[in-house]
Structure 1
Amino acid sequence: MRNPGGAARAAALVLAGSGEPDVLVRVHGEPLLTHAVRGLLDVGCMNRLVVAVPSRILGSCEAIVRELPGTGKRCRVIPGGADRAESLRLAYEAVRDEHYDAYLVHDAARPFVPPATVAAVAEAVFQGAGAVAPVLPVTDTVKLVDPAGVIVTTKDRAQLRTIQSPLGCTEGVLRDACARGVDLLSEPPGTVRTVAGHPNAIRLATPFDLAVAEALLLEERA
């Protein structure tokens, strides 16, 4: 819920893994981390950003964030953990003494989530949702196969969604996940409301994904 008599406050916890993609890889002349952090800064309610990155690139990521206008004391880059769940816990510990109405857990591998999508996630938490995530309908036909790889049945795609990030939640949900060592992006809590996702919020995990993202940016800026 919104703070009585005041504007709602949100914190973003941005997680960058040690595998693919490398957040230092450039798309349209800028590192993926630049795109990811800028997209969050463009959301008016984002008061705090904590970026957890692999220790080996900590200095480079700190320099990237410092170059972005509007970061100042709002954004902090910290060394991440051995896996995403540990990085989430470390990011939460960096802000646990502060209070925010919504916490947004974001995968740095999704650097092109539109600010409007991020804002919709935050707003749903401000309005009382315990957890919320952007999703897209599944358009492909999905088959269930047995251990031998033989098709068993067809899943009804009308009820299927692909989940994106950021995942928004209350502090209680975040604190519980960290206490249990759960990666919220892979294992969202039991009740998760949804908002409309966006095609640009794809996860960039392969060279093909990077090429698609490059083409999308060129088309949008043409």
Structure 2
Amino acid sequence: MDKKNRSSCGVVIVAAGRGERAGSHPDGPKQYRRIGGRPVIAHTLDVFVNWSPAERIVAVIHPDDSDLFAAALAEVEGDKERVKAVFGGSSRQRSVLAGLEALTASGVEHVLIHDAVRPFVGPALLDCIEASLLTGERAVLPAVAVTDTLKRAGANGCVGETVPRAGLFAAQTPQAFHFSTILEAHRRAAQDGRDDFTDDAAIAEWAGVPVRLVEGTPDNVKLTLQKDITMADERLSASFPDVRTGNGYDVHQLVPGDGVTLCGLFLPHDQKLSGHSDADVALHALTDALLATCGAGDIGDHFPPSDPQWKGAASRIFLEHAARIVRDRGGVIMNADVSLIAEAPKIGPHRAEMRQKLAEMLGISLDRCSVKATTNEQIGFIGRREGIAAIATATVVYRNPLA
């Protein structure tokens, strides 16, 4: 979905529970237990930090879990700067309200409220929910139709009756709402002393807000018991990662000027690179490398040089666009490597700053960004200082569809 047609979303991750039904464990409550080598909540946060409409993410945690949460957040891949932790209350309902209040200054239009212990939520479901919000729905609930035969218990442990399952659904999260609508409903419930709602859709129903059902997914399970955590760990540990590598190449001519832009950094020089945009060969090559990992074409498909709006544009726009495409398709950028081929200017003194800029643009750690440079030993057009070339490689891990 194009960014200009996307909504402004906040996210509340509910993670303040004690998880008594999962039993005690040295790793702490169930949201911090490890599946696939990482805490449950790290897997959950991965999905939202790599989903572009999520502008601000609030994790509502227990006051005793600050260190556990900080350690888990360190294992999240993506833009962790959007994640803020606040302390929850004595019930799930009060914790959600604390998360909503923390979002009041963010200016988001919509909010998704999600259980930290549902780590298998996917971007396709998030996009479906967002699409419903964009049609004007004020409350959206993902749910799956009940397929089991339902029985109501009677006296003495016997079946009292069989309950018709037609029209019955099992609710999931994230549940999504127009932000001010659900905030007002939660505040009203708190003022009225109502603390017995089992989910946020129930509060919306109580407040008279129509709740739109959308199809959930059976994979979006809630980890409640220890056996659920064990099965989730086996599922992730048995899956093979979908690792893809893309490469890109770009070259631009040098003409008289006052400097060149490489990796988003302007370097004073007696020449400049000729191009429709700022002609940053490094970012152009890396943009193509990222797009190649998901078969999304090349930079010219997305930003044609014939389009006047890109004249003189900063190439970080192109790279950040490619990174969003990768993340919207379920990818996690693991590594970005750029090799510059130029006689001048000298790249070595600027490599550290270039790497830092790549890390910021891609939302990954500095140790996952590499910038190298070499000359062409005065051979060919590069050796004659007629141009600069760049070769880039990107490594991206996508969610395994068989996992």
Query: May I ask how many residue pairs the two structures share in their alignment?
Result: 219
- Given the alignment, which residue of 44, 47, 53 partners 2:52? 44
Which structure's relative contact order is higher, taking Cα pairs within 8 Å and 6+ residues apart? 1
The answer to whether the 8 Å contact 2:55/2:82 transfers is yes
**1:9 equivalent in alignment to 2:24:** no
- Given the alignment, which residue of 117, 126, 140 partners 1:118? 126
**1:200 equivalent in alignment to 2:215:** no
The residue correspondences of 1:53-68 to structure 2 (distance < 5 A) are: 53-68=61-76
The answer to whether the 8 Å contact 1:62/1:77 transfers is no
**1:30 equivalent in alignment to 2:30:** no
> d(CA) in 2 for partners of 1:134 and 1:219?
28
**1:213 equivalent in alignment to 2:232:** yes
The answer to whether the 8 Å contact 1:16/1:108 transfers is yes
**1:129 equivalent in structure 2:** 137
Shift of 1:178: 2.2
TM-score (norm 1): 0.88
Shift of 1:124: 1.2
The answer to whether the 8 Å contact 1:10/1:104 transfers is yes
Question: 1:185–1:149: structure 2 CA closer, same or farther, 3 Å change rule?
Answer: farther
Q: Which of structures 1 and 2 has the bigger CA Rg? A: 2
> d(CA) in 2 for partners of 1:127 and 1:10?
15
Shift of 1:7: 4.1
Gaps of 5+ in 2: 20-28, 241-402
Bigger mean CA offset, 200-209 vs 68-77? 68-77
Equivalent residue of 1:187, what SS?
helix
Shift of 1:42: 2.6
The residue correspondences of 1:172-191 to structure 2 (distance < 5 A) are: 172-179=180-187, 180-181=189-190, 184-185=199-200, 187-190=202-205, 191=210
Q: Deviations over 1:44-102 (max 9, x none)?
A: 21111000111111122124224434334311011221111111111111111222221
TM-score (norm 2): 0.51
The answer to whether the 8 Å contact 2:145/2:168 transfers is yes
One-letter amino acid of the counterpart of residue 189, structure 1: A
> d(CA) in 2 for partners of 1:108 and 1:24?
9
Equivalent residue of 2:16, what SS?
coil
**1:168 equivalent in structure 2:** 176
Equivalent residue of 2:204, what SS?
coil
> d(CA) in 2 for partners of 1:7 and 1:201?
23
> d(CA) in 1 for partners of 2:162 and 2:156?
16
What's the RMSD between the two structures over aligned residues?
2.2
Identity score, percent: 25
Could you list the structure 1 runs, at least 4 aligned residues long, displaced by more than 6 angstroms after superposition. none
